[in-house]
Amino acid sequence: MTRLVFIGICSALFFSSTFVLNRAMSLQGGHWLWTACLRYVYMFFLLSGWLVLTGRSRVLKETFSTYRRNWCFWTIAGSTGFGAFYSLLTFSSSFAPGWVVATTWQATILATPLVLLMFGKRVPMKGILFTLLIFTGIILVTCEQATAASIKETLLGILPVLAAAVAYPTGNQLVWEARHGSIGIIPKISGTVLDDSIGRVLIMVLGSMPFWIVLTLLLQPPPPTTGQLINTAMVAVFSGVVATTLFFHARHLARTPFELTAVDATQSTEVIFSLLGEILFLNGALPGAAGFLGIALSLLGLVLYVRSQTANS
């Protein structure tokens, strides 16, 4: 369990770059759709290139063949876990500071047990009670944000993140279920791709491409700015490649629903990393008393949850 938690926290460090850089791009006037879809375009070429350079072209070829054999499943999984999740997250960054988005994003820890229940898994009530602490922290952060912005901006900055918090674990769980073949309506998929940490990320990126194409055709945003092209490349490397690969690796090592939820719970440390990043690089203001209390409750919920699961292991 300790190893899984450590890997999860490392992934959270790199994931936090998403919130800081997305906020920076929104302040520079870049359209949120380019912030979202360019990340996955970069990720596709970065991951593919890495597989070729490291002599694992076979994984790249099998990624395409695996996608073709179950294209409907992978399109649904990729569009949910990567497409819906990240488009909603970047949309919200246009209306709320990065640390607010990062704190609200911790709702994914509350959503994960619900998603696991939806897939027929058993989840301990103790874990759910601890995640309620995290959700209380989110409410406090929301209240503070509401005093600094209009009700409309507050809702647009927070509600999409709550929806993204459900979409992300749903997409991830679809992959987990496909690998373990425990649900009849989900195809059982095995092979090199799902046994390789980069392969698992790449096939989800590939599955999200139809989503990005359709969304771009519908919205027809203005061309991306130069700063947006550079910043999305950085997000692609730090968050899309490094963080996602670490996170998927930790989930791959998990053997029980308890361990899966604990790995997802480590993502609450993104709040601290995002707040520090926004203060250091964007001259962001420190949160007030309610904001700090909200962050503290979110982190307390994480610590109590992981300790309880470690004791049960």
- 79/170 Cα distance (integer angstroms): 11
Q: What is the pLDDT of residues 196-226, one digit of tens each?
A: 878 888 999 999 999 999 999 999 999 998 8
Q: What is the pLDDT of residues 228-249, one digit of tens each?
A: 999 999 988 898 788 878 887 8
Q: What is the pLDDT of residues 163-173, one digit of tens each?
A: 999 999 999 89
Average pLDDT of the chain, as a whole number: 84
Which pair of tokens denotes residue 112?
Answer: 């994960």
Band of residue 107 on the pLDDT scale cut at 50, 70, 90? confident
Nearest CA to 19 among 102, 80, 77? 102
- 117/59 Cα distance (integer angstroms): 32
Band of residue 145 on the pLDDT scale cut at 50, 70, 90? low
The pLDDT of residue 124 is 63
- 15/136 Cα distance (integer angstroms): 23
Nearest CA to 78 among 166, 208, 174, 264? 208
Q: Span 276-290, mean pLDDT? A: 77
Q: Which residues of 112-127 are buried (b: 16+ CB within 10 A; e: fewer)?
A: bbebbeebebebbeeb
Q: What is the pLDDT of residues 171-190, one digit of tens each?
A: 989 998 888 876 778 888 88
- Least confident range from 115-119, 132-136, 290-294: namely 132-136
The pLDDT of residue 146 is 66
The pLDDT of residue 75 is 97
Which percentage of the chain shows pLDDT scores above 70?
A: 91
Report which listed range, 125-134, 233-242, 255-264, is most confident: 233-242
* DSSP labels, 47-103: HHHHHHHTT-HHHHHHHHHHHHHTHHHHHHHHIIIIIIHHHHHHHHTTTS-HHHHHH
Compute the radius of gyration of the chain from its Cα atoms: 19
The pLDDT of residue 288 is 79
How big is the CA angle at 204 (ends 199 and 208), to the nearest 5 degrees? 145
Contact predicate 82/143, CB 8 Å: no
pTM of the entire structure?
Answer: 0.81
The pLDDT of residue 15 is 86
Which pair of tokens denotes residue 38?
Answer: 């360019």
Domain ranges of the chain: 2-312
Scanning the structure block, which residue is given the tokens 């876990």? 81
